[in-house]
Structure 1
């Protein structure tokens, strides 16, 4: 509840209590409660309503409100004691004491004020039963020992009864207020813990993203090293055969041109993802492996590995035949990592009994999917027939890594459940323009390879373009 609403509720409560006090005073007057009172009746109404006014600020200034209520109560109890015994007045005292214990922020000041109010209540109690009435009044109002209806002196029994009821009533206010304070404190602690956990989760997510981008930076190093090495070798070959074999020199220059363009394009896409990596956030892994990065040729081995009883199948569709050989190495690595992450999720988080990995490489315009596929596409799709396994939900960072990889290639990604059951992870990346001298791209037709592939149609509404 916000503060403004709480303050409005306090004003409403005060108005209702004031109305109840006025009604109870009038009913008490009708019952003869104030017959022997030597004070004007308007003063009784005024003091009764005034006792409720401090409750307007009971949650804004709880200790001040409590002090005003009990000071007023002591004054009324010493002058018009009949007014203090009315039930609405008792409710006013209860609410003031409860609010002070439940809402006071300074607990030491609360203890001092509440203790003073309790001492004030005891002082009034002693005055009423030991001083004001007097022994003579007691002897007149209560029977002699021979006429006692019980085993306890009637005056003592009345005093003990009043004391026990007041302790139970006002002690209940203190206990209830402290319980409310403890509950509010626990809620605040839980909220702080939830905020801390959320911040830590966000920090862990950022660290995972940075780690993934640092790994992509290593791939950028490999891309640059590969293309520069090829360019250097072809340049040396062209220089050596330039005089005696111009045709071979021209072939080497064509290769240099293609490799340089491809390298620049891949560097731009990778650097675009790495711009937000904080300086100094990465560090060397020490003795890193010198084995080549996996690619499309390793997909069959990925599905052939032991999957704990999971039946896996690999399919490859090419148009024209051998088109997979034209897929750049960084793109092949991204497709391999996508399939690897998807298969890992199937094993960890799915009840699937079978999974299929399909690689499609098509060297023809695919204008319906977007202008980025005008030179064809390379696609990997992982399908399974299972449902999410309860209690094994992951962090989602693996899928986030897939989306970031797709973004570096300005591709398209689809991740989610299938309408026919199971789960799909599908990534389509645009192929670069073919090198000089390559055959022109064929129009978009359905090939025999595609007709044989068990690929499912992807609804346009479920397709997500990243990049």
Structure 2
């Protein structure tokens, strides 16, 4: 039995919310509403008392009329601050109700006064911020009520009065007048205090659910804003990588070809013409790719694929190698496929990343190395193989030029492209001389990469 009682008390405490960290905030502008409610109760109590006096129901009350009005109105005053100090208001209204019931008797049973006591207890349950203190207050009220009823039934004159009044009447019920009176009184008090508790707790829990939903909505809105900001940042990074790769590559090609044309202009005019043709072609390609990027920026479509033209891929690497050739700068390219035709199955975003990495590696060779021979190799092992991958390798035979320096944005963009596809990179000097850059992307990871990462 002790376990059952403890369990019942714990469940009641959990229902009250003694361990809930949330506190109901009265918020601004509620004081005016509380004042209106309190004034309404004052008017109602005054009118009810005057009606009772007109009916002669207050003749047995020994207190002067002004004291009757003052005592009843005093019980309403705590309601002016019922949301700010809910526990104090609940305690004050219940104590006032007990005092009036014990001193003025009949006045405590007028309808408006009882509604006021009910509303005071309801306010305490609905707005109490310290739920553990509320539990203590409710226990005290229940104990006081039970003690008051026991005293009234055992030591008061209520039972004797009911018995005397019923003696002259013929009762038709199954119960005697005293038993009926006791049951009726207990039922009325149970409904009175139980109703205040249920309505107040329902109000508190409804406000708590609304607060939780509001907090969740705010969190979702913040997360949505963060996702939008993150998408903007990712798009800016993508465009920054594209701009860097396009500008760095084509400007480097034009610089190399212009230098070659200057050296052979007097001795081999036909070679100078070829170099100038390469410059013209590179400038046109740079303008075309810049226009493609600007079209992406200006597009109002919410679908990335709809606003972006297809970028270069594995099929464009041979042209990239051809454009980078110049007198004294030999480039070789090889494509190894297993099985044949596997290169066509590489997803577009991954193929673009391979193209840009090869492009950046060639630009770095021209700017920061003394190499005169470079080998570009692309190896594709179909996704049906285990494991499937696409690999690009750029190997040169030069040494670093100490007088050159860069911003590091190219290597940063290269690492971002590799990370977006779950790839790996090896870059560094070779033991036999020269420098090697090798990247590998798993084709199985390409299934989980969306076009928004690269396009």
Shift of 1:221: 2.8
How many equivalent pairs are there?
A: 284
Shift of 1:229: 2.8
Distance 1:8 1:73 in 2: 25
Distance 1:14 1:225 in 2: 77
Choose which of 183, 200, 212 in structure 2 pairs with 1:177: 200
Shift of 1:217: 2.4
Distance 1:211 1:122 in 2: 69
Change in Cα spacing, 1:194 to 1:134, as seen in structure 2 (3 Å) is closer
The residue number in structure 1 matching 2:220 is 197
Corresponding residue SS for 1:151: coil
Distance 1:61 1:336 in 2: 60
The residue number in structure 2 matching 1:226 is 249
Choose which of 128, 133, 137 in structure 1 pairs with 2:157: 133
Given that 1:97 and 1:114 are in contact with CA atoms closer than 8 Å, whether structure 2 keeps it comes out as: no
The residue number in structure 2 matching 1:53 is 77
Gaps in structure 2 of 5+ consecutive residues? 1-24, 310-455
Shift of 1:167: 1.2
Shift of 1:56: 0.6
Q: Once structures 1 and 2 are overlaid, which stretch shifts more, 236-245 or 17-26?
A: 236-245
Superposed CA RMSD: 3.5
TM (norm. structure 2) is: 0.55
Given that 1:74 and 1:120 are in contact with CA atoms closer than 8 Å, whether structure 2 keeps it comes out as: no
Choose which of 113, 126, 140 in structure 2 pairs with 1:89: 113
Shift of 1:134: 5.8
The residue number in structure 1 matching 2:292 is 332
Kindly indicate whether residue 144 of structure 2 is the aligned counterpart of residue 120 of structure 1: yes
Q: Once structures 1 and 2 are overlaid, which stretch shifts more, 327-336 or 246-255?
A: 246-255
Change in Cα spacing, 1:340 to 1:104, as seen in structure 2 (3 Å) is closer
Corresponding residue SS for 2:155: helix
Distance 2:264 2:72 in 1: 113
Q: Deviations over 1:84-127 (max 9, x none)?
A: 10011111111111111111111111111122123223333333
Instruction: Spell out the pairing of 1:47-446 with structure 2 (5 A cutoff).
Output: 47-133=71-157, 136-143=160-167, 147-244=170-267, 327-335=287-295
Shift of 1:213: 1.9
Change in Cα spacing, 1:108 to 1:141, as seen in structure 2 (3 Å) is same
Shift of 1:18: 0.7
Distance 2:304 2:55 in 1: 84
Q: Deviations over 1:372-411 (max 9, x none)?
A: xxxxxxxxxxxxxxxxxxxxxxxxxxxxxxxxxxxxxxxx
Q: Once structures 1 and 2 are overlaid, which stretch shifts more, 249-258 or 94-103?
A: 249-258
